[in-house]
Amino acid sequence: MGSTGERSVNLWLLCALATIDGMDLQLLPASFRALEASLGMSPPKLALLAVCQDVAFSLSGPVWGSLADNGFSRRRLLCLGATSWGILTMILAFVSSFPMMAVLRVLNGACLGLLVPITQSIIAETSSVGDRGYNFGLIQFSNNAIGQVVATLVVTSISNQMLFGVEGWRVAFFGVGLLSLIVAAVVNIFMEEEPRPYTPENVGIVTEFKKFASYFKIRTFVVVVLQGMVGTIPGAALMFATMYFQYLGLLDWQAAAAFSMYVLGGGCGGLLGGIIGDRLAGYSRDHGRPFTAQLSVFLGIPLVAAVFTMRPSADNALITMGGMMFMLGVLSSWCATGCNKPIFTQIVPPGSQASVMAWEFCLEHTSGHILGPVAVGYVSQHFFGYTSSTQQVQNMPPEVRIANADALGKSIALSTVLPWTLCFVLYGFLHYTYKHDCRPEGPLGKASDTKQLQDDAPTENECYQTL
């Protein structure tokens, strides 16, 4: 993609899209309590809405990845996706029926699913090896620290209020949808993209599944997918954190602030993790990035256990929970930017960058985002005695409120500590597999063309030869 200036503009446009994506993804969990009170939705139903969007989000990725890898304009794909999810989000503001909301969340998720593989493809093409972690971190910072934080603070604060005679959560959905349309127009005008040969004959279900099957010959891909299938469960389970803080007795804006500290920390941590991963990879190509991921998981486990099993005093609940959630976000968010995404740019050829990320994301998020919300919703209600209610929290009997807080807290803790422990173990295998699967880079730090790589590289254990 063109000159340094054009690449910089494109990077900032990707950050703008990531910001809107973060806002859209956070709309639902930020409105959980409002949807329970307004529409009578229990935690299992709320979890099902989250699952509908997340599964569609994950399953649609390979389709977008295949189009991007085979030369279809990535600018047009990004504009199409942003426009579509904007319109669908605006329609959601007018819906009250659970089945209709579920259908719209599926369609919305399918549109949101294009951002991850296309971002992977663009960053892999335009970044040097030493900058990839930082660039991925910058995009994650935009998604988490800006998009999700703004949505958490604003949406949670207004979701239970009436604004101009309209329920606050509906106003929030409409507003985010409108912003998506504006960003789509900006991307269409300013994003630069060099023409690439379009090969529609390579776009198809059979071709894509053959390509997908070939990835399993890459041991590093298998390890990252396995850890991701359990490592995404905690992130999905934490969708109930805002609701947990509300039951602890925090006001809506305080609960939003406490959870937003986690999201803000995650954005800062993603950027920090990308920098740490780049630095450690400079010291040890084979072990730097795997160690970055293991360190992040190791530091996150005790923090998440403490947050959801302790009950701070009412006087300092916001400060205590906000501070701990920020540290949890900072320390537990290095894996994607410091390890997974940069590693994927080096284990497959340039023509597979979007596809490999899409399939990895599909497998891990389909698993994690089904098990995470469902585990919290089901376990809290059927094992820890959660009682669903349409009453506002402040009007509930204290014993019911406290019991619901305990039930949600225990469920979230259980759904985070166990998966992260297994995740830590699985990342250990990368210390062996990555050094065998990593392919060489061109003189500028970017991937050379596939044929040249195959001509110059050693023949044993080179993953790109299997694709």
pLDDT of 83 above 50? yes
Report the DSSP beta bridge partners of residue 167: 162
The count of other CB atoms within 10 Å of the CB of residue 3 is 9
pLDDT of 465 above 70? no
pLDDT tens per residue, range 270-300: 899 999 998 998 888 889 999 999 999 999 9
Separation in Å, CA 3 to CA 6, 21, 129? 5, 27, 18
Instruction: Name which residue leads in pLDDT, 103 or 351.
Output: 103
Residue 166: in which H helix or E strand, if any?
Answer: strand 166-167
Whole-number Å distance between alpha carbons of 147 and 287: 32
Highest mean predicted confidence (pLDDT) among 115-119, 249-253, 353-357, 385-389: 115-119
For the chain, domains (ranges, CATH) are 4-191+203-466 (1.20.1250.20)
pTM (2 decimals)?
0.72
Mean pLDDT of all residues belonging to the chain:
80
What is the rounded average pLDDT of the residues 359-374? 71
Whole-number Å distance between alpha carbons of 33 and 47: 12
pLDDT of 385 above 50? yes
Contact 252, 317 (CB under 8 A): no
C-alpha gyration radius of the chain: 22
Token pair in block for residue 153: 């603070």
What is the rounded (10 degree) CA torsion for 71, 75, 76, 77? 70
Whole-number Å distance between alpha carbons of 68 and 74: 6
pLDDT of 316 above 90? no
pLDDT, residue 369, reads 62
pLDDT, residue 212, reads 80
Dihedral class, residue 104 (left if φ above 0, else alpha if ψ from -120 to 50, else beta): alpha
